[in-house]
């Protein structure tokens, strides 16, 4: 009887994962076709199996596929980061962009750009490795401030975490503006575009720089899904069943910040994705994190790739930053959640 009760839920989860992956493949094909150089679908498929022309191979494998893979990886990382934050804070409005973690990472990157006058930002090969580390420093600084200020009477409440995060976000946002105003016009425009959320690391080197963060931290987070499930029951119950609550909360916070910081370093200031994807996943499969986390990752990749493709099509030949597209879609959903929960 137990097996019969749980089998439909398992089948639903598998069906949703398969459907999401199929949709992702379809969007990948559409995204390869989108752009100033139009490549017919049958030519795309021929090129992918090794029968394309040299021009199509260059366009697809050296320009479009790296950006597509990067968008998927960034979407996965930000979505899982948001799911972790919502789990450890027990706050459905938690998101690395809203709480100020993305702003902290962005502030650190803007400082790096300011002091190096932007030269290493785009051209230097060392920026591939320096940028994620710089963003991580800023993200961890923001997370430390949020956690430290939110701590009261031996615990961190979800309301304090959200309010402090919004305040820290505003503070880093003000710092960003100050340093942007001191920049040269060219560097200023670079920061504006980057902070709007744009997949700028569009070559395989950047993909390889981000890939280890994704393939190591997301599976580890899924491994910790039982801890997140216990946290959902409340602090007292979690402590009662033997969970070292603050230790696990800090560990998961570090993972969330690491994912967000690494993704911001190549994807810019993308907000609301870490809010939307976990919420959609929970509505589809329930609150069990062993299902929510992998589905959030797949949906995050699908959503960000779709937004990036739309951004390249809507205002062609110009590009609308993917962060703006996500914000247009995510802001109304955030307001809806705020009205329901507060």
Percent of the chain with pLDDT over 90: 22
Neighbours of 271 (CB within 10 A): 22
pLDDT in tens, 156-188: 666 777 788 888 888 888 888 888 888 777 777
The reported pTM is 0.87
pLDDT at 79: 95
Contacts of 241 (CB under 8 A, 6+ apart): 230
Q: Is 104 exposed, middle or buried (0-12, 13-18, 19+ CB in 10 A)?
A: buried
Burial 304-319 (b: 16+ CB within 10 A, else e): bbbbbbbbbeeeeeeb
Mean pLDDT (whole number) for 114-141:
69
For residue 54, what pLDDT band results from cuts at 50, 70 and 90? confident
Mean pLDDT (whole number) for 58-69:
87
Taking the CA atoms of residue 16, residue 17, residue 22 and residue 26 in that order, the dihedral angle to the nearest 10 degrees is 90
* DSSP 3-state of 155: strand
For residues 37 and 87, the model is more confident at 87
Mean pLDDT (whole number) for 102-106:
85
């Amino acid at each position: 009887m137990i097996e019969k009760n749980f089998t439909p839920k398992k089948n639903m989860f598998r069906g949703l994962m398969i459907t999401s992956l199929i949709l992702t493949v379809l969007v990948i094909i559409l995204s390869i076709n989108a752009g100033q150089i139009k490549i017919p679908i049958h030519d795309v498929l021929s090129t992918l199996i090794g029968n394309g022309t040299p021009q199509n191979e260059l366009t697809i494998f050296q320009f479009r596929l790296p950006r597509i893979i990067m968008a998927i990886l960034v979407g996965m990382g930000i979505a899982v980061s948001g799911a972790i934050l919502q789990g450890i804070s027990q706050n459905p409005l938690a998101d690395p962009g809203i709480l100020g973690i993305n702003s902290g990472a962005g502030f650190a990157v803007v400082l790096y750009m300011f002091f190096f006058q932007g030269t290493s930002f785009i051209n230097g090969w060392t920026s591939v490795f320096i940028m994620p580390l710089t963003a991580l420093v800023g993200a961890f600084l923001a997370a430390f401030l949020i956690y430290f200020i939110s701590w009261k009477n031996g615990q961190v409440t979800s309301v304090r975490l959200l309010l402090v995060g919004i305040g820290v976000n505003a503070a880093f946002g003000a710092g960003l503006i100050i340093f942007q105003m001191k920049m040269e016009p060219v560097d200023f425009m670079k920061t504006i575009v980057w902070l709007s959320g744009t997949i700028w690391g569009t070559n395989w080197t950047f993909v390889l720089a981000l890939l280890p963060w994704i393939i190591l931290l997301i599976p580890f987070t899924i491994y910790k899904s039982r801890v997140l499930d216990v946290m959902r029951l409340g602090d007292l119950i979690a402590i009662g069943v033997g969970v070292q609550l603050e230790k696990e909360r800090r560990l998961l916070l570090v993972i969330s910040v690491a994912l967000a910081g690494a993704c911001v370093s190549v994807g810019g200031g993308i907000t609301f994705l870490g809010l939307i994807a976990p919420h959609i996943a929970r509505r589809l499969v329930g609150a069990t994190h062993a299902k929510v986390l992998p589905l959030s990752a797949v949906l995050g990749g699908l959503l960000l790739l779709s937004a990036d493709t739309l951004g390249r099509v809507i205002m062609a030949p110009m590009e609308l930053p993917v962060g703006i597209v996500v914000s247009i879609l995510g802001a109304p959903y955030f307001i809806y959640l705020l009205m329901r929960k507060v």
